[in-house]
Structure 1
Amino acid sequence: MTPRTKTPPAPPFGRALCAMVTPFTADGALDLDGAQRLADRLVTGGCDGLVLSGTTGESPTTTDAEKSALVRAVREAVGERASIVAGVGTADTRHTVELALAAEKAGADGLLVVAPYYSRPPQDALEAHFLELADASGLPLALYDIPGRTGVRIEPETMLRLAAHPRIVAVKDCAYDLMGTQKVMSRTDLAYYTGCDEYVLALYAVGGAGYISTVANVIPRHFRSVIDAFDAGETGEAAHLQRQTLPLTELMMASGLPGAVTAKALLGALGLPGGPVRSPLRSAGREATDGLLAAYEELTT
């Protein structure tokens, strides 16, 4: 008997997404020209979606007007070659709705909405928060589950209920709970994107939609090759390519420095748009930057 298989729905925002940094000029102003050049490089390098104003995009320190201007500029640069997902999550439901409507007006294709942080709302309040946003905007939503930063988990049972809303279509998964993730994936059509670069292949292999990667700011083509190899049935090659990224991923994501800091340090060392980070973050020092550059060169040469 031929086994029955379930064909997953097409990923709503593509498979290979980059959590793009927000370039600033040397004096800390928004660098829209740099953002356009970086976005074009990422799309040319294999990204079929860009997430703007996420954590890597330093959303806590950009203004509402800057967030909208960034969406407009990147849309102009990439056209319809890639989807644009705007990070709009805040700790305030009303403010989140305002950002969502502004992103929709600016030309975003979707919204990334992190769980409200610090106040640690209970699950029924979380559910109400996301539903209010989904009802307010016409754009599809990706829920961002990252309890290590927010202090609150979007529990699997809550995800199962939220999946019934037609505009809640995806999850950026940084919960480090593969059991809970697979539970939701097996019972819904939510598209799961890993937000943890070391899990790109692992989640994709069990039916994930793809990834939203910080490290892809500097190696977009390499991460795309991981899932391309898997899709081609070259699972051993996909595993090899994934393991090759680990030294750079560890330095960028697990060295004690935030991903925005390490990504911008390496972009700057490569002569690419990025610029400084905004306070309270501080730019990486020379030793950290040299280490990042050495790991990058080992991977790419």
Structure 2
Amino acid sequence: MPDPVKTPPLFGGVNAAALTAMKQDLSPDVDRMAAHCRWLLGNGCNGLGVLGTTGEANSFGLHERKEILEGLVARGIPAAALMPGTGCASLSDTVELTRHARDAGCRGALLLPPFYYKGVPDDGLFAYFSEVAQRTGGGIALYLYNFPQQSALPFSLALIERLLRAFPGTVRGVKDSSGDYANMQAMVRAFAADDFEVYSGSDEFLQRILSEGGAGCITAAGNANSHWGGIVYARRTGPEADAAQAVLNATRKAATSVPLIAGLREIIARSTGDANWRTIRPPHLPLDREAADKVWAGFEAAGALPLPGLRPIRARAAE
């Protein structure tokens, strides 16, 4: 008997966990962010995870997060390509942001667990996500954000199974930023029959997770290496895919050799000649010169610079 036809993943492929551009007063700079999103979608990205960890979502208030999403859509970034982070410590804020994402036209939202309280059992997380699913009222796929290093609340296979059975078609997938490939592999294998979409949170696992039947990646380093991620997704195997995966591995290593968000801001700032990309909200800080030179040298050594298709702002302005 032939295998049943799988439902295509909504965000299958390479999704950059997009940086949030800011003005000098630390307010969101949606014009610059939209320009960056357009470049990403034109250079290897199938979709964009906005307002996640790399986008500093938890440094923004509820209204700011709404304004950023609305501003991107108003500037022509397709809502269907956006997976905004909507998970908050507050149940009501999570529901409000998830409904807002749905109403803006987004097909999916990425939800952290309620991260303030530690040691929460699976029953508590199940109750929380049950309330989110019911109060949101459908119309948008929910993706679980497994990042125990930050949230201290991992998603067990047993919890995922309960959520899939309770909310079929609504709980659609997971971004696994645990860094534990065996965990990602177990998720793919356990829930393949449910069309559960597993996205690696690390570029280094893209080729491997695709070979397992995973959906792709949602990654921070995608802000600067998505060109090579697109090659891996398109080719999967063979010399070209292997060479592109090697660039992903090297750029990921370079990006994580310094504070990750500030390091990626440095790469984009130097590549565009736009120093405003270094602006970051406290408690995060810009890199000092030594760290800035280190991450740049790492990308150079990986053969990733200049970033394909990204020209300095001064060059574009002269056209």
Question: Do they superpose with TM above 0.5?
Answer: yes
CA contact (8 A) 1:89 1:116 kept: yes
Distance 1:292 1:13 in 2: 29
**Equivalent position of 1:104 in the other structure:** 102
Bigger shift: 236-245 or 167-176? 236-245
Does the CA-based 8 Å contact 1:173-1:192 persist in structure 2? yes
Structure 1: segments with no counterpart, 5+ residues? none
Which one-letter code corresponds to 1:284 in the other structure? L
Name 2:164's counterpart in structure 1.
Answer: 163
Find the residue that maps to 1:295 and give its secondary structure. Answer: helix
Please give the secondary structure, in 2, of the residue aligned with 1:220. Answer: helix
Please give the alpha-carbon distance, in whole angstroms, between the structure 2 residues aligned to 1:214 and 1:143. Answer: 17
Aligned partner (choices 74, 77, 85) of residue 75 of structure 2: 77
- Partners of 1:145 and 1:7 in 2: how far apart? 27
Question: 2:31 and 2:131 mapped to 1: Cα distance?
Answer: 35
> Cα RMSD between the aligned structures?
2.1
Residues 167, 182 of structure 1: alpha-carbon distance in 2 compared, 3 angstrom cutoff: closer
1:225-240 equivalent positions in 2, closer than 5 A: 225-230=231-236, 234-240=237-243
4+ aligned runs moved over 4 Å, structure 1:
3-7
- Identity of counterpart residues, as a percentage? 26
Structure 2 gap ranges (5+): 306-319
CA-to-aligned-CA distance 1:99-142 (integer Å, 9 cap, x gap) = 21233333433210012213132101111211221222221111
Aligned residues: 294
- Report which stretch shifted further, 4-13 or 60-69: 4-13
What SS class does the counterpart of residue 278 from structure 1 fall into? coil
C-alpha distance in structure 2 between counterparts of 1:14 and 1:76, whole Å: 24
Answer yes or no: is 1:124 the counterpart of 2:130: no
> Match for 1:119: what amino acid?
Y
Relative distance call for 1:159 and 1:81 in structure 2 (3 A) is closer
Query: How much has 1:82 moved relative to structure 2?
Result: 5.4
| Corresponding residue number in structure 2 for 1:245 | 248
Give the TM-score taking structure 2 as reference length: 0.85
1:296 is aligned to 2:299: yes
CA deviation after TM superposition for structure 1 residue 224, in Å: 0.8
Distance apart, 1:179 and its partner CA: 4.7
Report whether the alignment pairs 1:260 with 2:261. yes
Deviations 1:29-59 (A, max 9, x none): 2101111111111111121211111000001
State the shift of 1:6 in Å. 5.5
- What's the TM-score, normalizing by structure 1? 0.90
On the 8 A contact 1:71/1:108 being kept in 2, the answer is no
The match for 1:58 among 41, 56, 75 is: 56
